[in-house]
Amino acid sequence: MEFDVAVVGAGPAGAAAARRLAQHGRRVVLVERSRFEAPRVGESLAPATQPLLVELGVWPQFMALSPLASYGTRSVWGSAEAQEHSHLINPYGCGWHVDRLAFDRMLAEAAVMAGAELRCGTALASCEAADDGRWLLRLNHAGDPTPLRARVLIDATGRAAHLARWVGAQRIVFDRLVGVATLFGDIDTSREGYILVETTPDGWWYSAPVPQDRMMAMLMTDGDLCGRASLSARIRWRQLFACAPKTFARVSGTVLWGPRVFSSLSQRLRRSEFDARWIAVGDAALAVDPISGSGVVRALRSARAGAETALALLDGKTRHAIEAYEADRDFECTTYLHERAQYYGVEQRWRESPFWHRRAAALTEMAASSQ
Ligand SMILES: Cc1cc2nc3c(=O)[nH]c(=O)nc-3n(C[C@H](O)[C@H](O)[C@H](O)COP(=O)(O)OP(=O)(O)OC[C@H]3O[C@@H](n4cnc5c(N)ncnc54)[C@H](O)[C@@H]3O)c2cc1C
């Protein structure tokens, strides 16, 4: 029950951080709420994922998942004509389309292979600082409360940042984006090695192939708009799907699951102190809009920086290490917000609809604040 580091959340960020720390000989527990049973989204990996997976030592395991090569993005954004953005000029070559559940499971297994202890089906129930400077976590495993002590905590619970909020941090939430996803099967994906994004008045559509002849199609819209117009009801989703002509023409076949709603909100975590021995990695630290196509790359990068920071915390270098880590995340956040505003600003056709009107207003606000 005594660990150097407790990592809560075994998505890409948590698993990668746990593997790195275990490789440094630290006693690590990786706590995961699920049993990797429910479908996951985020299947298109940017080319820059490759060097990070190689560095983690999991490239052979990754290739064993039979990922599909991704040659770039076709973007129907700002005009009815599709624009091509090829990965072929990328120094790392192509990107990849994966089964996200299999990918996340592979990374968690890699953490175990390095020596981390993985506890699945176990959720964080509470967290407090003990008198000896350690953290006392109470975990919930099949209804049984389990205590656990650790010197350093890593929040890798995704954009909800459950652990960080337990210890007093707050989220700055930039939008309420959701993805309403349906997975289709029995599709010939042999000529579909690319991402397609297509705007409509209600938001934008994303589609991409998934290994084993499957294809993901997803409407990205705001949570309140989704609820008000019942966009997650199959019949309504289908109606809107037919309004995205290029996506609709590409994706057909048997519905395997969906429509399902996934929170896709952008957020940055704010901590009020820099002395407590915890950090957040991945989406828990900074969650970005899926239009950036970089969520997994960012998660793996912040896992690397987070693991280095955790090692510094174990060595007693608290304040400076945390401040440096947070300053890097702040810089990343500012850059991301500008890129996001510019990208949405390209689409001017649906300015009157609430989804696009909100994005245009954010762009105007950002321009005003930078003057
Ligand atoms: C709709 C959508 C589409 C996306 N598409 C892409 C894409 O195509 N490409 C891309 O690169 N990125 C994409 N992303 C972003 C990408 O999925 C995330 O950036 C990435 O998964 C972040 O990894 P993470 O490990 O920080 O968090 P997560 O992947 O969210 O993992 C968090 C983990 O913590 C666990 N957990 C949560 N709470 C608790 C708790 N209390 N106790 C224990 N465990 C807990 C969860 O079960 C989960 O395993 C997409 C995101 C969304 C929402």
Report, as an integer, the average pLDDT of 4-15: 98
Q: CA–CA distance from 262 to each of 38, 160, 268, 344 (Å)?
A: 12, 12, 18, 20
Ligand 1 center to 284 CA (angstroms): 9
Q: Give the CA count within 13 Å in the CB-facing half-sphere of 89.
A: 4
Ligand 1 center to 31 CA (angstroms): 15
Closest ligand 1 atom, residue 178 Cα:
1
Residue 286 CB less than 6 A away from ligand 1: no
| Mean per-residue pLDDT over the chain, rounded | 95
Residue 100 CB less than 6 A away from ligand 1: no
Closest ligand 1 atom, residue 294 Cα:
11
Backbone angles phi, psi at 272, to 5 degrees: -100, -10
* pTM of structure: 0.97
Ligand 1 pocket test, pick from 41, 178, 182, 194 with the greatest ligand atom count within 8 Å of Cβ, gives 41
Report, as an integer, the average pLDDT of 80-100: 92
Q: Please check the confidence at residue 366 and state whether its pLDDT lies above 80.
A: no
Cβ(218)–Cβ(259) below 8 Å: no
Q: Please check the confidence at residue 223 and state whether its pLDDT lies above 90.
A: yes
Any residues with CB less than 8 A from the CB of 251 and at least 6 apart, and which?
184, 187, 207, 215, 217, 241
Does the domain made of 67-98+176-264 have the CATH classification 3.40.1190.20? no
Residue 92 CB less than 6 A away from ligand 1: no
Q: Please check the confidence at residue 18 and state whether its pLDDT lies above 90.
A: yes
**pLDDT at position 317:** 83
The structural domains of the chain, with segments of one domain joined by +, span: 2-43+99-174+269-333, 67-98+176-264
Residue 195 CB less than 6 A away from ligand 1: no
42-82 pLDDT, tens digit per residue, is 999 999 999 999 999 999 999 999 999 999 999 999 999 99
- Closest-CA residue, ligand 1 atom 37, reads 157
To which residue do tokens 């004509």 refer? 81
Q: What kind and span of H or E run contains 138?
A: strand 135-141
- Closest-CA residue, ligand 1 atom 18, reads 295
Residue 45 CB less than 6 A away from ligand 1: yes
Residue 283 CB less than 6 A away from ligand 1: yes
Q: Please check the confidence at residue 371 and state whether its pLDDT lies above 70.
A: no
pLDDT bucket at 133, cuts 50 / 70 / 90: confident
- Closest-CA residue, ligand 1 atom 42, reads 123
Cβ(228)–Cβ(250) below 8 Å: no
- Which of the 8 DSSP states describes residue 286? E
Residue 94 CB less than 6 A away from ligand 1: no
Report, as an integer, the average pLDDT of 27-41: 97
Q: What's the residue count for the chain? A: 371
Ligand 1 center to 205 CA (angstroms): 19
Residues 269, 273, 277, 278: what is their CA dihedral angle, to the nearest 10 degrees? -10
Report, as an integer, the average pLDDT of 194-219: 97
Q: CA–CA distance from 97 to each of 31, 113, 204, 219 (Å)?
A: 27, 25, 20, 18
Does the domain made of 2-43+99-174+269-333 have the CATH classification 3.50.50.60? yes
249-262 pLDDT, tens digit per residue, is 999 889 999 999 99
Residue 216 CB less than 6 A away from ligand 1: no
Q: Of 54-68, 174-188, 203-217, 352-366, where does mean pLDDT reach its minimum?
A: 352-366
Ligand 1 center to 80 CA (angstroms): 32
Q: Please check the confidence at residue 300 and state whether its pLDDT lies above 70.
A: yes
- Which of the 8 DSSP states describes residue 198? E
- Closest-CA residue, ligand 1 atom 1, reads 179
